[in-house]
Every structure is written in structure tokens, then in C-alpha cells.
Amino acid sequence: MKNAGAIISGYGLVTPLGQNADSTFDALMCARFITDHHRAAGGADRGVQMARAAGEEAIGRAGWNRDDRSEAGLIVATSKGTLESLITPHHEAIANSPFIAAGGWDRLGLGGPRLVFSAACASGLHALIRGALMIAAGEARRVLVVGYEASVHPLFVGSFNRLGIIAPAGEVCRPFDQTRSGFLVSEAAAAVCLQADGGGEIRLENFAMGGDATHLTGGDPHGCTLRRMLCGLIGETKLDLIHAHGTGTEFNDPVELAAIEAAAPRQSVRPAVYSHKGAIGHSLGAAGLIAVVINCMCHQRSVIPPNVQTLRPLETSAISINAAAIDRRIDRSLAMAAGFGGAMAAAVLWG
């Protein structure tokens, strides 16, 4: 969709590296990284607590007053919420649902339409796009989009390990590295305030979604759907930063990289490819929205954090993968995400 017409007026983050967006980004720039699966503090409602904190930060940055919030919509994205809510008795699961747990979201004062989005690891980006469509359709002039995940539990990590996509004990996540061996699971939350107009510096300029029905837990080895989606989205658009899904798994990375290479614009300065998963880990349903928030900060600070664990990058011809930070003005960036079941999405930011 061209000219999405939604302005990003605020954002927030809660990650293993920081309790807000600034502290997280500073840690990324200092090349900090997790060395094991990261579980957030708290109990069965910890996911909602993280999400609400990220939402409060985003609203604060956007400067939404009581009247602004009274008709603002809320879209919550997660692949499964807090995992304990799925393995507890029914009445407890209801109490820990995304909208009810720990008092729900009422204290944010959002009186507009509410949705929950679940599209595996593409949940956050799908929700962002739905928020932009909501604004374009006149359903709301402001929308808070929140993505969160709290899935670090022996049952879930063990299941992922059986699929062969978890980094072995003692290893870290190395996106697009020749020695990659899988990812680490982390719990995190991200939030973005979208609005129809105002003084926001960054605009959601363009976006696309795709569906690859090849396999329940594995994608097309040729990346045909991903390639077509990216080529149609990017076209001749000049890009400074491509924030890839970049899981650090044996299968995903070369397929994703080939699709990016095919779609990347040929320009004098190659777009830089970055994945935050080498530092923060894979936060599943929140990952795409985390990428959007990090991209916003790259735009505002004119810098791209280092691919901290990518020491021997896969060979590329149209893009660059850097282990060190890059000082560069970011006019346009792309964030992308993909998930089990073939859900995928990408969004172009301008500003």
C-alpha cells in the first residue's frame, strides 16, 4: 500500500537490554547481548505488564492528552501471550488474557476500538499494518499498537529445540553468520503510537503482507513469496537500512538474504542489513514491532547498531552486513518479519 498516511508519533520498548527505548538502544550501541534465553521478571501477567509499560512510554513520547486517548484504538499483538496462560486452568487463563490481566489496559485511557492480533512471529508488523489501515479507513485517528511475548518456559523452549532452531547451550544467536546455529528466546515488548496527522518525524510510508503456505513450521526454500513481496514493496525506492527478520537459523538466513538481495535497490551506497536478534534474542510475536522501534531510533540518531555476533557474514552483492556500528543518515528504512504458518510482512519508514 503506497502512502499509508500514518505518522509514528511515539514508541516504547522493554527488552532484556533495557526497560525503555533509550536504554535498549544505548545497550545495542555498546554491543551488549544476551547469552541465554531471557525471561522477564514477574509472574503469569508479566507479558501484559511489559506491554503496558511499553505502551505508557509510547503515549508519553507522543504527548497524547486525555482527549487524544479517549477515542484512540488499541491493537495488541502476540503469538501466544504469556505462556503460563495457555497451560493453566481455564479460569486462570481468562484472568491472564491480553485485555484483562492485572487490570487490563483501562488505566491507559484508550476508549477506541480494540483488537488482538496473532500471526506467529509476524504478529507485531501485522498489527502495525492493521493500525495504519484503521486510520486510513477513518475508524480511528489514533491507534496504539503493542506487541509482547513471554514464552520462556521449559515446555516451549524444549519444543523449539526439537525443531532444531534453538542455539546449542553455550552458543549465541549469529544472524547471517557462516557459523550460525539458531536463536535464543527472549521476552520483550514494543509499542508504537500511530496517528493520522501531527508533528511526528517518521511516517509509515508503505507496507506489504504475504502468505507462504509451504509448510507449518518451514518456509519455501526458494523464498518465492518473500521475494515477490519485497520486490513489489521496494521497487526503485532508495533504502538506507533493512532491518531483517534474521533469526540466525541454518534454514532461514540464506533464504531471507537471497530474497533481500533480489529486491534491494542498486544504489551507490549499499543498504545496511541489520538484525537485533544477535543482541536481544528472538521475541517472537513482538519481534517485528521491536524492529520498527529500533528503526525509528536509527532515523532519529543517524546511526545503525552493530550486528554484534555476525563476525563471518554470508556473502552478499547488493547489501552490506556490518559487525560495527554505522554512522549514516537514515531517510528510508525497512523492517520485516516472518512466522510459522507462512505469515510475513514488511514496512517502509520515511523521515
What would the DSSP string read from start to end of 225-273? HHHHHHHHHHTT---SEEE------TTHHHHHHHHHHHHS---SSPPEE
Examine residue 200 and state whether it is found in any structural domain, yes or no.
Answer: no
Give the separation between CA 52 and CA 82, rounded to whole angstroms. Answer: 13
Cell of 83: 505462556
Examine residue 175 and state whether it is found in any structural domain, yes or no.
Answer: yes
Q: Where are the alpha helices (DSSP H) in the chain?
A: 21-29, 46-62, 66-70, 90-95, 123-136, 154-162, 224-234, 252-263, 277-280, 287-301
pLDDT at 170: 93
Question: Which of 177, 195, 213 is the endpoint of a domain?
Answer: 195
Give the separation between CA 220 and CA 229, rounded to whole angstroms. Answer: 13
- Name the strand (E) or helix (H) holding 319: none
For CA atoms 128, 133, 136, 137, the dihedral sign is negative
Residues 107 and 210 in one domain: no
Which residues, other chains included, contact 189 with Cβ-Cβ below 8 Å and sequence gap of 6+? 12, 13, 14, 15, 47, 50, 51, 53, 54, 146, 147, 148, 149, 286
Structural domain of residue 38, as residue ranges? 2-195
Question: Which of 195, 230, 261 is the endpoint of a domain?
Answer: 195
- Using an 8 Å Cβ cutoff, are 293 and 313 in contact? no
Give the separation between CA 162 and CA 153, rounded to whole angstroms. Answer: 14
**Is the pTM above the cut of 0.75?**
yes
Strand partners, 18: 15
Residues in the chain: 351
Residues 177 and 209 in one domain: no
pLDDT at 103: 42
Question: Which of 195, 216, 250 is the endpoint of a domain?
Answer: 195
Residues of the chain with pLDDT under 50: 1, 91, 99-103
Residues 263 and 243 in one domain: yes
CATH code of the domain covering residue 87: 3.40.47.10
Q: How far is CA 40 from CA 220, 314, 327, in A?
A: 33, 32, 32
Residues 214 and 190 in one domain: no
Burial of 283 (0-12, 13-18, 19+ CB in 10 A): buried
Residues 254 and 156 in one domain: no
pLDDT at 9: 96
Cell of 42: 514477574
Give the separation between CA 349 and CA 239, rounded to whole angstroms. Answer: 10
pLDDT at 89: 58
Residues 209 and 332 in one domain: yes
Residues 242 and 181 in one domain: no
Q: How far is CA 160 from CA 80, 185, 204, 249, in A?
A: 14, 9, 33, 12
Tell how far CA 177 is from the center of its chain: 20
Residues 135 and 22 in one domain: yes
Residues 64 and 180 in one domain: yes
Q: Say how many domains are in the chain.
A: 2
pLDDT at 102: 33
Residues 146 and 179 in one domain: yes
Examine residue 37 and state whether it is found in any structural domain, yes or no.
Answer: yes
Angle at Cα 7 formed by Cα 6 and Cα 9, nearest 5°? 145
DSSP 183: B
pLDDT in tens, 318-348: 999 999 999 999 999 999 999 887 899 999 9
